[in-house]
Structure 1
Amino acid sequence: MVLRKRLRKLVEAEEILILPGAYDALSAKLVQAAGFQAVYLTGYGQSASKLGEPDVGLMCMSEMAERTRDIAMAVDIPVACDADTGFGGPVNVIRTVREYERAGAAAIQLEDQTMPKKCGHMLGRQVVPAEEMAEKIRAAAAARGDPDFLIIARTDARTEHGIDEAIRRGRLYEEAGADIIFIESLETVDEMKRVNREIRKPTIANMVEGGRTPFLPARELQEIGYSAVIFPITTLYAAAKAVYDVLADLRENGTSAGSSDRMLCFREFNELIGLPAVRKIESGDLSAVRRDLL
């Protein structure tokens, strides 16, 4: 419960909350080590890292819940988790919420796309009727066991149906019980300002490198009115580029020695993944045992 309460307070605070994306437990540890107060489990990143496939609805609920559990166990900061469409109708959403909550999530994100869904910055996305999504939100609110478990309601209506419909849906999802409203793929700063004038609940922005939404720094998003911002694929793209470059160097030169300055060393990496705590426990010092903060 502690981490969920912490996330709620962070969202309600005056300063905008920055949530970098994590595509696995290791990247989540890096987010925490870099000093961020919360982390976002990206569905795009899970599909890429587990399946090596694009974000087109290939991950099932049990796979995503397992990834949620892995990441939540790896860090001591709140984890906000992408749950796509909830993996079905209201009955499916109830199970999804319970599984994510049991896995250690501090927040769940549900979107109004049809199944199979697509990444929110891809074209060709379709949305379900607004009332159908509102019913899912009501089901999610009823299913959670912890009142501090946040429900993020996302609409993908902007791209195909325009800003008016996207805001209408956002307000409907507010009324249905969502804690945070996420209007995806806004295309201008004026649209972003309008959303924050017309939506009463806290709002979240999505900063995707190369995506459809203006790419703004957190301080400007805060001035516009956002309570939180995710950078869902920053870590994924950075890791892919770094690994590719090191491998190219290894292939060309037959050694990784020339790339050592772009890597953590053996000691640094072992510290990152918690070896010192293991050594303490092995010596009988149980003060290093992590406590369940949820």
Structure 2
Amino acid sequence: MTPTSAAADFRAKLTSGRLLRFPGAINPLSAVLIEELRFDGVYVSGAVVAADLALPDIGLTTLTEVVNRAEQIARVTRLPVLVDADTGFGGPVNIARTVQLLTRAGVAGCHIEDQQHPKRCGHLEGKTLVTVTEMLQRIRAAVTARPDPDFVICARTDARTVEGLDAAIDRAKAYVDAGADLIFAEALADEAEIARFRAAVDAPLLINMTEFGRTTLLPASTLATLGVNVVIYPVTLFRVAMGAVERALATIAAEGTQMSLLEGMQTRQRLYELVRYRDYAAFDADIYTFTTPTTTPTAESDSDDQ
């Protein structure tokens, strides 16, 4: 899909009245699987981009690194892609450039948070917030600079664990007034807090179902009943994959062979299906065997030449 159609698709889905499920892709190939299994969209987690580079999630990744990963993932899926843009990678002018680059990378939207830089994982202690005024400037910069008016600007608030639920709700209302299309309420505790937030804020709501965090893990059916519009599973696939990698390495170290791991592996045939190996081979063969048609001169044309 083109960047414009992906963003328009996401914006339309936000008004559908149903819960949208966005698993976090760990690489482009996992995004292919997310689409194949009929999820609604793909999420690019800042924590996963950082962890993949063996870095903590404290604002160390660069705009270039995030945009490159987002573009790689958006290239392989027709689903809308939502990207974690942390605090926007700088002041208003930097945020404007962030939104422009992400739009041109083919993603459908991004979220920008109200933490101070350097930020922290939303489920850890020690977070500090910028003022409401500064966050409104961030939102206005993002909204004003987006090349595509359908590109979804999501405002994330981390206020629940810093200033309390009431303050988080007040911030969210101000962010909507500033032009945010979607509100990401980070680290709400449970169903009751989600329900209260949903009732108070008149905008689409995103909830984070991350493991080992502050929010009770809830099934999609419960989130849908609560009126949540988008749920993300940001680090789930990364945690599962790295757990498998660690176990596999321990097995090889202990047994001296990977034989006992074969049953749990993705097969060569399945990998080739996902990367469309046959399609690429057919395309290559068709081009490689192509020859330019030649026209044989007729007897009449030969005599004319004489």
Give the corresponding residue for 1:291: none
1:22 aligns with 2:35: no
Q: Would you say the 8 A contact 2:42–2:82 is kept in 1? A: yes
1:139-150 matches, within 5 Å, as 139-150=141-152
SS in 2 for 1:282: helix
CA deviations over 1:58-96 (Å, ceiling 9, x no partner): 101111111111111122211100000001111111011
Q: What is the CA RMSD across the aligned residues, in angstroms? A: 1.2
1:237-248 matches, within 5 Å, as 237-248=239-250
Give the corresponding residue for 2:166: 164
Q: Would you say the 8 A contact 1:24–1:46 is kept in 2? A: no
TM-score, normalisation: structure 2:
0.90
Q: CA deviation at 1:153?
A: 0.3
Q: Which runs of 4+ in 1 moved over 6 A?
A: none
Give the corresponding residue for 1:289: none
Match of residue 206, structure 2, among 204, 207, 215: 204
Aligned length: 284
The unaligned stretches of length 5 or more in structure 1 are 286-294
Distance between the aligned counterparts of 2:77 and 2:229, measured in 1? 23
1:1-294 matches, within 5 Å, as 1-49=4-52, 51-284=53-286
Q: Would you say the 8 A contact 1:69–1:103 is kept in 2? A: yes
Q: CA deviation at 1:21?
A: 0.4
Q: CA deviation at 1:110?
A: 0.5
Distance between the aligned counterparts of 2:75 and 2:282, measured in 1? 19
Larger Rg: 2
CA deviations over 1:116-159 (Å, ceiling 9, x no partner): 11111111111100111011111111111111110110011111
Distance between the aligned counterparts of 2:31 and 2:161, measured in 1? 30
Amino acid at match of 2:184: F
Q: CA deviation at 1:271?
A: 1.6
CA deviations over 1:165-220 (Å, ceiling 9, x no partner): 10011000000001001111111321111100011010000001110011101110
SS in 1 for 2:189: coil
Amino acid at match of 2:12: K
Q: Would you say the 8 A contact 2:7–2:80 is kept in 1? A: yes
Distance between the aligned counterparts of 2:64 and 2:133, measured in 1? 26
Distance between the aligned counterparts of 1:246 and 1:34, measured in 2? 26
Distance between the aligned counterparts of 1:281 and 1:98, measured in 2? 34
Amino acid at match of 1:239: A
Q: Would you say the 8 A contact 2:6–2:107 is kept in 1? A: no
Q: Would you say the 8 A contact 2:6–2:106 is kept in 1? A: no
Distance between the aligned counterparts of 2:83 and 2:135, measured in 1? 18
Distance between the aligned counterparts of 1:254 and 1:11, measured in 2? 51
Distance between the aligned counterparts of 1:155 and 1:207, measured in 2? 15
Q: CA deviation at 1:14?
A: 2.0
Give the corresponding residue for 2:290: none
Q: Would you say the 8 A contact 1:23–1:236 is kept in 2? A: yes
Amino acid at match of 1:90: P
The unaligned stretches of length 5 or more in structure 2 are 288-306
Amino acid at match of 1:23: I
Give the corresponding residue for 2:298: none
TM-score, normalisation: structure 1:
0.93
- What's the % identity of the aligned pairs? 40
Q: Would you say the 8 A contact 1:33–1:272 is kept in 2? A: no
Q: CA deviation at 1:4?
A: 1.5
Distance between the aligned counterparts of 2:79 and 2:86, measured in 1? 22
Amino acid at match of 2:129: V
Amino acid at match of 2:148: D
Q: CA deviation at 1:31?
A: 1.7
Q: Tell me whether 172-181 or 263-272 shows the greater mean CA deviation.
A: 263-272
Distance between the aligned counterparts of 1:142 and 1:246, measured in 2? 48
